[in-house]
Amino acid sequence: MGLERPLVAAIIVLFSSVIIVVTISLLQQLKKVALPVGYKYGIVFDAGASRTTLYVYRWPAEKENNTGVRRTWIHLERNFTVKTTGTLDLGGASTEIAFVPKQHSHMSETVIITLYSYNYTVYTQSLSCYGRDEAEKMYRAKILQNAKKKSSIEDPCLPSNYNLTLQLKYIFDGLCTAADIPPNYDPDTNATFIGTGNPVLCQQKLLSIFSFEYINVGGNWTQEKLQPNIHGDFVAFSGFYYSMEALNLTGSFPIETFNSTVQEFCSNNWDQVQQLFPNVSDPFRRSYCFNANYIYAVLVQGYNFDQESWKSISFQKEVKNSSIGWSLGYMLNLTNLIPSENQVIQTPMSEGVFCGLLFLFSTLVVFCSIFICMSIIRFF
């Protein structure tokens, strides 16, 4: 009788300890919760010719297929590369094109971009001095150079009945026009550009004065290789979009529609232009004709779009309510270099408490088992 009570107690403690060990192990495993890992942030400064824009991006710290920003203009539905859309960007100082060529190119302007763990071979080219603002300066420098009377110059890209007086330093203050500085140059001398509103001559002059086979690098004009053949669809944004929006030409449209619209608009005199855009400041509305004809020169002569491939261009400001710009693509590509963070798992008990309880009751199981075995041996 003296042995039975301790034996019964040991058996009760043994089974209780086993139940407790199993219970806390199951609770620790089944009740754990995956906590959100939070977000990472990226900041991009876009220092343009006329303004600086700040972009702030956020993405889950636990990345998807090694790429951080999940909701973008590329939509991943399956684990293989998807159709891409080329981009056309027109800024103040430069213009850019990027697209995936139909055939792999070994040009120096071809780069490999990794998105969602898949590689895309992208042709990309940035033409310095061919942004809208710098191009206008080069255009005015050329027509000033060819003018018989240097103080007053006919400008077919300005509306008729509109005169624009500029100091020469406004035209020749940068690297892009340094080669065209006239003899006896005085930066404070004024030149008056007299608008004639001639869309045909405006387009001809723009096409004739720009040689897009050359780009400006550090003040030196160097010849570049021709780009691969245009392939696929394109989105034209920033300066391309805003210039077309002014003429009510957005989305996709044939080149014939573009030409007829530009022809009609550029034939308006200054009074008519003011009536069409009563709430727009003069520096913008006087430039709409130049902008449209320059876009034609860039796309047709610069990037080799023809009547058929023009239809593949869509002039857009946004895609799925997201603004289009180089900064988003830059941040997408940059996230490939940023390590992913694993999810944080929260358990009902801290690791220290769980291990302590597990050790305590496991020890009780061992001691109770030894005691029971020894008691049985003594009994027999």
Task: Render pLDDT for 200-257 as a digit per residue (tens, 0 to 9).
Answer: 999 988 887 776 665 544 445 455 556 788 889 999 999 999 999 999 999 999 999 9
Write the CA distances from 20 to 193, 307, 357, 368, 371, integer angstroms.
92, 79, 9, 14, 19
Same domain (yes/no): 202, 255:
yes
pLDDT at 78: 45
Length of the chain: 380
| Better-scored residue on pLDDT, 35 or 127 | 127
Same domain (yes/no): 169, 23:
no
Q: Which of 301, 319, 337 is the last residue of a domain?
A: 319
Mean pLDDT computed over 147-165 = 90
Is residue 315 very low, low, confident or very high in pLDDT (cuts 50, 70, 90)?
very high
**Pick from 32-46, 255-269, 335-349: least confident:** 335-349
**Residue 131 near residue 91, CB atoms below 8 Å:** yes
Element (H, E) at 299: none
Same domain (yes/no): 163, 230:
yes
Q: CB count, 10 Å around CB of 148?
A: 7
Mean pLDDT computed over 24-50 = 72
Q: 54 in a domain, yes or no?
A: no
pLDDT at 339: 58
Q: 151 in a domain, yes or no?
A: yes
Q: 67 in a domain, yes or no?
A: no
| CATH assignment of the domain containing 144 | 3.30.420.150
**Residue 145 near residue 185, CB atoms below 8 Å:** no
Same domain (yes/no): 143, 266:
yes
Strands 234-238 and 313-315: parallel
Tens-place pLDDT, residues 3-32: 577 777 777 877 888 888 888 888 878 777
pLDDT at 341: 54
Question: Highest mean pLDDT range out of 57-66, 287-296, 347-356?
Answer: 287-296
Report the alpha-carbon distance of residue 374 to residue 271 in Å, rounded: 112
- Is the pLDDT at 159 greater than 80, yes or no? yes
pLDDT at 12: 80
Element (H, E) at 296: helix 288-296
Same domain (yes/no): 212, 276:
yes
Same domain (yes/no): 145, 293:
yes
φ and ψ at residue 56, rounded to 5 degrees = -120, 125
Q: 101 in a domain, yes or no?
A: no
**Residue 365 near residue 17, CB atoms below 8 Å:** yes
Q: 18 in a domain, yes or no?
A: yes
Q: Which tokens is 325 given?
A: 């710009």
- Residue type (1 letter), 20: I
Same domain (yes/no): 374, 307:
no
Tens-place pLDDT, residues 319-368: 777 777 777 766 666 766 655 555 667 777 788 888 888 888 888 888 88
Report the alpha-carbon distance of residue 260 to residue 292 in Å, rounded: 12
Q: 116 in a domain, yes or no?
A: no
Q: 338 in a domain, yes or no?
A: no
**Pick from 65-79, 164-178, 193-207, 296-310: least confident:** 65-79
C-alpha atoms less than 13 angstroms from C-alpha of 305 in its C-beta half-sphere: 22
Percent of the chain scoring above 90 in pLDDT = 36
**Residue 185 near residue 295, CB atoms below 8 Å:** no
Ordered DSSP codes for 181-192:
PPTT--TT-EEE
Element (H, E) at 365: helix 351-379
Instruction: Give Cβ neighbours of residue 285 (< 8 Å, ≥ 6 apart).
Output: 246, 273, 274, 276, 277
pLDDT at 379: 66
pLDDT at 155: 96
Q: Domain limits at 289? A: 132-319
pLDDT at 252: 95
Same domain (yes/no): 360, 269:
no
Same domain (yes/no): 11, 142:
no
Q: 95 in a domain, yes or no?
A: no
Same domain (yes/no): 155, 255:
yes
On average, the pLDDT of the chain sits at 81
- Tally of domains in the chain: 2
Percent of the chain scoring above 70 in pLDDT = 78
Q: Which tokens is 338 given?
A: 């940023």
Q: Which tokens is 100 given?
A: 């995936």
pLDDT at 374: 81
| Better-scored residue on pLDDT, 98 or 35 | 98
How far is Cα of residue 11 from the mean position of the Cα atoms in its chain? Answer: 70
Same domain (yes/no): 351, 239:
no
Of the candidates 335, 119, 309, 107, the residue with the CA atom closest to the CA atom of residue 225: 107
β-strand partners of 47: 52
Same domain (yes/no): 223, 142:
yes
